Structure 1
Amino acid sequence: MNIFNYPFFSPHNHAFLKLLTFRILMVLAYQIMAVAVGWHIYEITHDPLALGLIGLAEVIPYFACALFAGHAVDHYYSRRFFGTLAAITLGINALTLTALAAGLIGSESNASWWIYGSIMLTGIERAFIAPSYSTLFALILPREEYARATGVSSAVFQAGLIIGPALGGLLVGFASKTVAYSVATLFCLGAVIAIWSIKIKEPPPALDSPPVFASIAQGLRFVFSHQVLLGALALDMFAVLFGGAVAMLPAFIHEIYHYGPEALGILRAAPAIGAIITGVWLTRHPINLHAGRWLLFAVAGFGLCIIGFGLSTSIWVAGLTLVLSGVFDGVSVVLRTTIMQLATPDAMRGRVSAINGIFIGSSNELGAFESGLAARLLGLVPSVIFGGVMTLGIVATTAKLAPKLRKLELHQLQ
């Protein structure tokens, strides 16, 4: 059966197609910028810690804005408005980096500070993307389609993670960083058009909106009192925090594999190749039984793949282990997202999505910083192996401390 035969792809539901278009264009822009920025910074510094600081520069403003963004999406204006705002902000960021790479602003001595400053701007816009997308997803689709539609959404997202880094590497390698940043700017413009063209009836903003800190506290209490949701978020957060080897790829390419930016783009895309296959498979064969056990198994498999990557000395073996890590991560992402969508009340989706973003999204950047710091202290290869071992320990700890998650069946959340 073709996945496009499902009800959420019916001709009258163009809104979901436009939402997916918005998502993939934003992913493409972000991934192209990530490849170009990583190569740009390492070209200037030749320091793995400088790669880790990219993540830290993004996560600090993200932490500062995420909970307030979730509150705003739940209570003010239109969900489309905040998605549009995020796309415009990322476009301004890409345009700034275009000017820097072209020599129109900055200088060789302060180029890294311009890059870190623009990455901080990326952290602000990212705070609004997940809450906007999550609430629009729930408004567009019927509840019974959440599990399958999450598989499609994950496949589209992972397609962006394949195409974006590969395209970014090719643009940097065969054209220039300026061209790469310019293409990212155009993708942001397309994302603005896609989300603003969505026609859907949104509930009006609440007239009696609670104070912002009381609203945020309400969302935090909900998540921290829900063992299944909290366990799923914490499991992924710590797994990504310690198992984030992708941030060190520029160093591996330079120091171990001795290839150029084209190989960097391919290796960055490798996990997404596995994840998109998983997303398509789960669209047709959603996991309905033993969801908790599958989630734990998937994260453990991810940790083993990271260890395998750290031990590999061949770029082809490294690519294979990263593809397999994407397969396991794809299962984890679909299950975690489905759990979040089913467990969250409609009135709290923005805040819960923002908290999910802090748990998961920020752990990518903190993981990049941790990887850079560990590489400085332990060495490049030992730091990656250490991260994989820690991931396995986290799975064992979660299985013991969160029995409801371990025994979870999705129908319990319906």
Structure 2
Amino acid sequence: MSKTDPYAALRIKEFNIFLLLRFALVFGWSMQFVVIEWQVYALTKDPLSLGIIGLCEFIPAFLFAPFAGHIVDKKEKRNLFALCIALFSLISFGLFWLTSNRIESTWETYTILLGIYALVFFGGVLRSFFGPTIFSLIGLLVPKKIYPNAATWSSSTWKGASVFGALFGGFLIAWIGVHYTLGIIFLLVMLALFLVFFIAKKPIFNKVVGESVKKSLKAGLNFVFKDKVILGALTLDMIAVLFGGAVAIFAVFATDVLNAGPKGFGLLNAALSSGSIITMLATTYIPITKNTGKKLLISVFGFGVFMIIFGASKLLWLSVIALFFSGVFDGISMVVRQTILQLKTPDDMRGRVGAVNSMFVGSSNELGALESGVAARIFGAPLAVVLGGTMTLVIVAIIGVKNKSLRNLDLRKDIEEHEKED
């Protein structure tokens, strides 16, 4: 198998099954998020209720993540993944049931709302397990020498499913309504549950007996914070999303800055997403193992530059181009980061490192949306994005100068070592 084979990971049957079931899950999860937001706002007509949805998911996802990482490292990954999907199906069915005509006609709105929030909270708990479980499972499905290719296809699948899931969610609400859209989501989850059993059980590498949860969690955190490469990669991702992201306030730009209306709003979202997806697929042909650290730093820096251009733009066409290229650089950084984590994480630590990764990514997404909203309220949306992009550039420069291990990272030696092992 050639080192530059862009379809190396796709030649492995179990990995193809994994991609298919992951697409079904993420597609359904993204649709579900859109449908829940629509339904909750329809019930309350209160924007604050939408913020509560994010809070209900963020709190358990963040708090449970360290414990989830400990459990994932101790358990067999295929069955744990199947359990997570099965429990997720209960959430999907619960939402389908809560939006039925019978419930809506007999229950009070407040009670239905509490039920939705409770299911979202339960989903947050599951999210804390999904991240480290998936991260661990990928490392067991393919040989280590093709981790970069597997990371590319996995990230592309996730991004594509999340984008098209959100898009179809909106269309399906208009075509068949909330209730039946949630029914389709439930069927997608059941399809994923069916497919997961075509993946064989995987070995457990962490077989330490009698290790306390506290000691296990401490070992995982120590590994991440002592490894300058992994810590640097996670920090770059968190900072880019926390300060450089502007997705949460695209509606403000489309309405008040660019005067582009709903169609412009759709164009802004599509430009960012299409840039990410196209680049992720392109990286299957372009090796990222050479000068990996520099490529990561440059990609996050480029993301910040184009977000500044977007924030300063008053023209729709320029804003769309800026977002497309910010998506391009974001796609590169995502694939590079996942490759670094897969190659640099020992098999017996994958669950805990994956949990820390989900904490970094999860917190930066929700807190980034909050930061964007607050900054836009104080400074105005354009200046808020420019300042956020500038902060991203400053932090990338600092990490590039201070973190020599990350700056000089080259993964070709790691790949060569794994080739010898395989």
Once residues 227 and 359 of structure 2 are traced to their aligned partners in structure 1, the CA distance between those partners, rounded to angstroms, is 17
Aligned to 1:258: 261
Q: Measure the CA separation in 2 of the matches of 1:207 and 1:347.
A: 10
2:296 corresponding residue in structure 1: 295
Greater gyration radius:
2
User: Tell me, what secondary structure is at the counterpart of 1:283?
Assistant: coil
Residues of 2 paired with 1:118 and 1:270: CA distance? 32
Label 1:259 to 1:28 Cα distance change in 2 as closer, same or farther (>3 A).
same
Task: Give the aligned partner of residue 138 of structure 1.
Answer: 139
Matched ranges for 1:103-182 at <5 A: 104=103, 107-108=108-109, 113-182=114-183
| Segment of structure 1 superposing worse, 208-217 or 381-390 | 381-390
Q: Is the 8 A contact 1:75 1:209 kept in 2?
A: no
Give the distance between the partners of 1:9 and 1:412, measured in 2 at CA: 23
User: Structure 1 residues 34, 308: CA separation in 2 closer, same or farther (over 3 Å shift)?
Assistant: farther
Greater Cα shift, 293-302 or 383-392? 383-392
Q: Which residue of 2 aligns with 1:385?
A: 386
Report the CA distance between 1:5 and its aligned residue. 7.2
2:74 touches 2:207 (CA, 8 Å); kept in 1? yes
Conserved? CA contact 1:310–1:384, under 8 Å: yes
CA contact (8 A) 2:243 2:388 kept: yes
* Offset, 1:111: 5.9
- Of 77, 81, 88, 1:90 maps to 88
String of CA shifts for 1:49-87, please: whole Å, max 9, x gaps: 6555443332210111111111111112x2122222322
User: 2 CA distance for matches of 1:15 and 1:135?
Assistant: 14
Q: Does the CA contact (< 8 Å) of 1:85 and 1:125 recur in 2? A: no
TM-score (norm 2): 0.86
Shift of 1:201: 4.1
- 1:279–1:228 CA distance, 2 compared to 1 (3 A): same
CA contact (8 A) 1:80 1:195 kept: yes
CA shift at 1:208, angstroms?
A: 1.2
Unaligned runs of 5+ in 2: 416-422
C-alpha distance 205-236 of structure 1, shift in aligned 2 (>3 A): closer
- Shift in CA distance, 31/336, structure 1 to aligned 2, threshold 3 Å: same
Cα deviation per residue 1:138-166 (whole Å; 9 max; x = unaligned)?
Answer: 11211111111211222222221332122
Deviations 1:255-309 (A, max 9, x none): 654328xx76665454332222112211111212221111111112222333344
Q: Distance in 2 between matches of 1:182 and 1:152?
A: 28
Cα distance in 2, alignment partners of residues 180 and 382 from structure 1: 39
CA distance in 2 between partners of 1:43 and 1:375 (Å):
26
Answer with 193-202 or 291-300: which moved more: 193-202
Distance 1:72 1:304 in 2: 40
Pair 51,386 (structure 1): closer, same or farther in 2 beyond 3 Å: farther
- Within a 5 Å distance, the mapping from 1:62-101 to structure 2 comes to 62-76=61-75, 78-101=76-99
**AA aligned opposite 1:26:** L
Q: Is the 8 A contact 1:374 1:383 kept in 2?
A: yes
Deviations 1:353-402 (A, max 9, x none): 11111112332122223233334444444433333232222212222331
What are the ranges of 5 or more consecutive residues in structure 1 without an aligned counterpart?
none
Change (3 A) 1:82 1:138: same
Q: Is the 8 Å Cα contact of residues 82 and 129 (structure 1) preserved in structure 2? A: no
Checking the alignment, whether the CA contact within 8 Å between 1:48 and 1:251 is kept in structure 2 is no
Q: How does 1:150-229 map to 2 (within 5 A)?
A: 150-203=151-204, 206=207, 208-229=209-230
For the aligned residue pairs, the C-alpha RMSD in angstroms reads 3.0
Distance 1:111 1:326, change over 3 A: farther
Structure-1 separation of matches of 2:44 and 2:174: 18
Q: Alignment partner of 2:262: what SS?
A: coil
Q: Is the 8 A contact 2:94 2:119 kept in 1?
A: yes
Percent identical among aligned pairs is 38
Q: Describe the shift of the 1:289–1:204 C-alpha distance in structure 2 as closer, same or farther (beyond 3 A).
A: closer
* CA drift at 1:124: 1.1
- TM-score, scaled to structure 1: 0.87
How many aligned positions are there? 408
Separation in 2, partners of 1:37, 1:312:
33
